[in-house]
């Protein structure tokens, strides 16, 4: 059965972000299970709705943090969030249209969707959050 496994390299060191990411991994896995269960589109659609809803909440939380610390890379990070949410909504449309799904391809896409954003983009934000924690804000290099 396809499963997204949490690995230590995904730990950003920010408890706020890591907690959200673990929940996202759970929701991705619930979605994978729904696809593989053969229980029909209702369950798949609900799992995707839950994933989209939580992704929106998580992205909003990160964006509040970026605002708070006046993160210089916020515009690019926010743009990536917009792109990622759009991809999820597109996937949902495809699922709702009821066509045959290539389950391994969808699973592969979603695994990369989450892993790449964490490793490439969230890691940088978490690094800045960590440096600023417990100290007065440090000017960021432009």
Q: Minimum CB separation from Fe ion for residue 141, in Å? A: 21
Q: Which stretch binds Fe ion (CB under 5 A): 40-48, 88-96, 101-109, 114-122?
A: 114-122
Scanning 29-37, 90-98, 99-107, 115-123 for contacts with Fe ion by CB under 5 A, the matching segment is: 115-123
- Report the nearest approach of Fe ion to the CB of residue 72 (Å): 15
| Residue of 35, 122, 128, 129 that binds Fe ion (CB under 5 A) | 122
Residue closer to Fe ion (CB basis): 66 or 95: 66
- Rama region for 5: left / alpha / beta (φ>0; ψ in -120 to 50; rest): beta
User: Min. distance of Cβ 1 from Fe ion in angstroms?
Assistant: 28
Q: Does 20 contact Fe ion by CB under 5 A?
A: no
Nearer to Fe ion, 62 or 95 (CB): 62
Count residues binding Fe ion (CB under 5 A).
2
**HEC string of the chain?**
CCCCCCCHHHCCCCHHHHHHHHHHHHHHHHHHHHHHHCCCHHHHHHHHHHHHHHHHHHHHHHHHHHHHCCCCCHHHHHHHHHHHHHHHHHHHHHHHCCCCCCHHHHHHHHHHHHHHHHHHHHHHHHHHHHHHCCCCCCCCCC
How far is residue 17's CA from residue 2's CA, in Å, rounded to a whole number?
A: 24
Interface with Fe ion, residue 62, by CB under 5 A: yes
Least distance (Å) between residue 62 CB and Fe ion? 5
Contact residues toward Fe ion (CB under 5 A) are 62, 122
């Amino acid at each position: 059965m396809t499963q997204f496994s949490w690995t230590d390299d995904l730990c950003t060191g920010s408890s706020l972000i890591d907690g959200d990411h673990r929940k996202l991994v759970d929701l991705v896995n619930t979605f994978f299970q729904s696809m593989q269960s053969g229980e029909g589109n209702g369950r798949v659609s609900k799992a995707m709705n839950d994933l989209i809803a939580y992704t929106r909440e998580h992205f909003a939380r990160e964006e509040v943090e970026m605002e708070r610390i006046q993160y210089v890379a916020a515009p690019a990070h926010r743009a990536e969030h917009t792109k990622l949410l759009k991809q999820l909504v597109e996937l949902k449309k495809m699922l709702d249209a009821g066509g045959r799904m290539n389950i391994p391809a969808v699973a592969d896409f979603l695994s990369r969707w989450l892993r790449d954003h964490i490793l490439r983009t969230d890691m940088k934000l978490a690094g800045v959050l960590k440096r600023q924690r417990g100290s007065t804000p440090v000017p960021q290099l432009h």
